[in-house]
Structure 1
């Protein structure tokens, strides 16, 4: 397989290009090929214990976007103008537990590990979840852990978009209970097996950002322990 080596400056240029765009040009649409690459970046993202506790809803229906707009204050400029709008979902603890059918299926059928070592892998996951992280102390702790996993593909999608010259904006400004109620009414949460984690909009900026990018200096955020 031939791979093109991305130059360091290309990577930095993409990160400098990426801004939290509030309004997109509604006349410009992302090609199917480019958006599939963004989705593939999400699909190939890493997850703790390899269980991929996520699902991505690509919301293109304008009527549904209008319903979301009523309960998503942070997406007022995005929902009417974004080329593509994604709701990122995380899995409930009944799926992410080491002894769940979901986890067993993930390792046996998705990952394709041999039966003879599957018990050893599941025991390793149990030790991590129960003894190291104490994830099932309560439902919220387990859900928070799953939601943290979704931020890995979340970030990768935006980074790959930037490498392709596509703008994006991460969104957490929504009434989570109302959004989950709407999705449940549309049978999109698999009977409570899924919960809303975040949203992200993609498109092409209508205008350049009004303010320059501001970031802390490297010395203020990195400490080396030699």
Structure 2
């Protein structure tokens, strides 16, 4: 195995769901900005980036989230940086939305005729290919799935930098969203909470990683 291949495998072997963070250690700004860039540069369907990253550093807000986020308590209590990833709702992700129009014109800088063709393809994708317009939840879940791509890239980038992390789904989504709304952080018309993650430095070494063999999970056709 060459050096680059080994570096990749080593990063994945290093990464684990850190259960206890050292609250005295802080991630350097440059390193955490690199983690955020990995999220920002992640791929998304049609390049429409249906996400937003909240970095929760305020101790009072962390304490509010603590009792309704059972899977995040170790991270809220010790992680250097705590991230909540939001997913955009139907009002933004529908093929005809103002948000999609803005992404194509202001971010992707598409000529009008190219944007029109892309919107038509996106409409077909939503209506026929993935049946995303059956209900509002289907379109939101489609957006949420994409946030996990950004999350995975952030976790792997952290591992390359020797930084620990913990992806988190263990929380009461309604209570978390209520707290964020009450604090004026969440615009519930446009966003919902998708997933969380803590980033920092481990207190103790993890258990040996367990995974199925490639033979059990890969089928060559």
TM-score scaled by length of structure 2: 0.97
Match of 1:160 among 149, 157, 161: 157
Alpha-carbon distance in 1 for matches of 2:140, 2:3 = 36
Instruction: Please give the per-residue CA displacement for 1:123-161, whole angstroms capped at 9, x wherever unaligned.
Output: 011111111111011011111111001000000000000
Please tell me whether residue 128 in structure 1 is matched to residue 128 in structure 2: no
Please tell me whether residue 38 in structure 1 is matched to residue 35 in structure 2: yes
- Point out 4+ residue stretches in structure 1 off by more than 3 angstroms: none
State the 1:187 CA deviation: 2.1
Match of 1:213 among 209, 216, 219: 209
- 1:102 alignment counterpart: 99
- 1:194 alignment counterpart: 191
The unaligned stretches of length 5 or more in structure 1 are none
The unaligned stretches of length 5 or more in structure 2 are none
Alignment length (residue pairs): 220
Map 1:129-148; keep pairs closer than 5 Å.
129-148=126-145
State the 1:79 CA deviation: 0.5
- 1:77 alignment counterpart: 74
Map 1:36-75; keep pairs closer than 5 Å.
36-75=33-72
Instruction: Please give the per-residue CA displacement for 1:86-140, whole angstroms capped at 9, x wherever unaligned.
Output: 0010000110011000001011111111122111111011111111111011011
Match of 1:201, SS? strand
TM-score scaled by length of structure 1: 0.95
Which protein has the bigger helix share? 2
Alpha-carbon distance in 2 for matches of 1:6, 1:165 = 17
Please tell me whether residue 223 in structure 1 is matched to residue 216 in structure 2: no
Alpha-carbon distance in 1 for matches of 2:200, 2:166 = 9
